[in-house]
Amino acid sequence: MALSEKKIGFIGAGNMASAIIQGLIGSGLINRQNIFVSDLDINKLKGMEEKGVVACPDNKTLADKSDIIILAVKPNVYEKVLKEICSVSDIYKKIFVSIAAGITIRYIKSFFPVNVKVVRTMPNTPALIGEGMTVTCYEPPVSESEFEEINEIFRSIGKVESMKENYLNEVVAVNGSSPAYVYMMIEAMADAAVLRGIPRDVAYRLVSQSILGAAKMVLETGLHPGQLKDMVCSPGGTTIQAVYELEKSGFRASLISAMEKCTEKAIDLSRKYDIT
């Protein structure tokens, strides 16, 4: 069965589920009537129905109807949800997709009576505008073709990189949480511009476009970020003075330290949900 013919269910109708659904519909990968959603929030379900997708009364009904089940809920809700859907029909044919930090493939499988198909992913919030970065991994009995179908779903909301599961805790800091660091940098740079009299709305546009352009330079030129930085730093110029001040303030070390703490938290979550 082609992906376009499969039924995809979303347990949870939050921001990430909404982003993926929007990507699927916008890309034409899936017909709206083949998308199912369940959520405790009636208002969220009504909003989904307005998009033309099918609202389900409960998680079990959704899982029974779906070929691919995306678990779009917080980590602390997974146990409850998995217990509700562990006895669905044709369970060995379905693919369960995790999008939560710390939730391992082994943890999900532990709730089912058979060796179910599980794909673990780590998307990020820029998926809301189709510019997400998602890391994916899998293990048997998921086939390579089935894994490619899941990757295709996430490519509808941005870019996809596949890695081994033992890296998934590390990538939380790199792509899952990293938009927050960038937003803080945008805010701080805009504050500096406002301090010098630039209107705030203009400052946000200037800073955001500059960061967007710089990121594209890295992706599209293939040049080392240090080399691109050197291209901006004229001898005795303004940029190298700013770089010097950032180095004095421990800019790089602060970022690395923050990401280390983020990774440690992700590892702690995995241990919390680990099955021994």
Other CB atoms within 10 Å distance of the CB of residue 256: 12
Rounded distance between C-alpha atoms, residue 97 and residue 119, angstroms: 5
Domain ranges of the chain: 3-169, 176-270
Q: Identify the CATH homologous superfamily for domain 3-169.
A: NAD(P)-binding Rossmann-like Domain (3.40.50.720)
Q: Identify the CATH homologous superfamily for domain 176-270.
A: ProC C-terminal domain-like (1.10.3730.10)
Length of the chain equals 276
Rounded distance between C-alpha atoms, residue 52 and residue 25, angstroms: 10
Rounded distance between C-alpha atoms, residue 13 and residue 204, angstroms: 30
E-strand spans in the chain? 8-11, 35-38, 54-55, 68-71, 95-98, 117-122, 132-138, 158-162
* 272 band by pLDDT with thresholds 50, 70 and 90: confident
Q: Is residue 276 pLDDT above 80, yes or no?
A: no
pLDDT in tens, 141-173: 999 999 999 999 999 999 999 999 999 999 999
Rounded distance between C-alpha atoms, residue 275 and residue 258, angstroms: 28
Which helix (H) or strand (E) element contains residue 254?
helix 251-272
pLDDT in tens, 23-57: 999 999 999 999 999 999 999 999 999 999 999 99
Packing angle of the helix pair 15-27, 144-155 (nearest 10 deg): 100
Strand partners, 132: 158
Rounded distance between C-alpha atoms, residue 72 and residue 74, angstroms: 7
Nearest to 264 by CA among 102, 98, 136: 102
Using DSSP's 3-state secondary structure scheme, residue 250 falls into coil
Tokens of residue 1, six digits: 């069965």
CB 60 within 8 A of CB 85: yes
pLDDT in tens, 184-240: 999 999 999 999 999 999 999 999 999 999 999 999 999 999 999 999 999 999 999
**Distances from the Cα of 193 to the Cα of 221, 229, 232, angstroms:** 29, 21, 19
Q: What is the mean pLDDT of residues 263-267?
A: 93
* 275 band by pLDDT with thresholds 50, 70 and 90: low
Sequence-distant (≥ 6) Cβ neighbours of residue 141 within 8 angstroms: 92, 115, 116, 117
Tokens of residue 148, six digits: 């490619």
Rounded distance between C-alpha atoms, residue 178 and residue 101, angstroms: 13
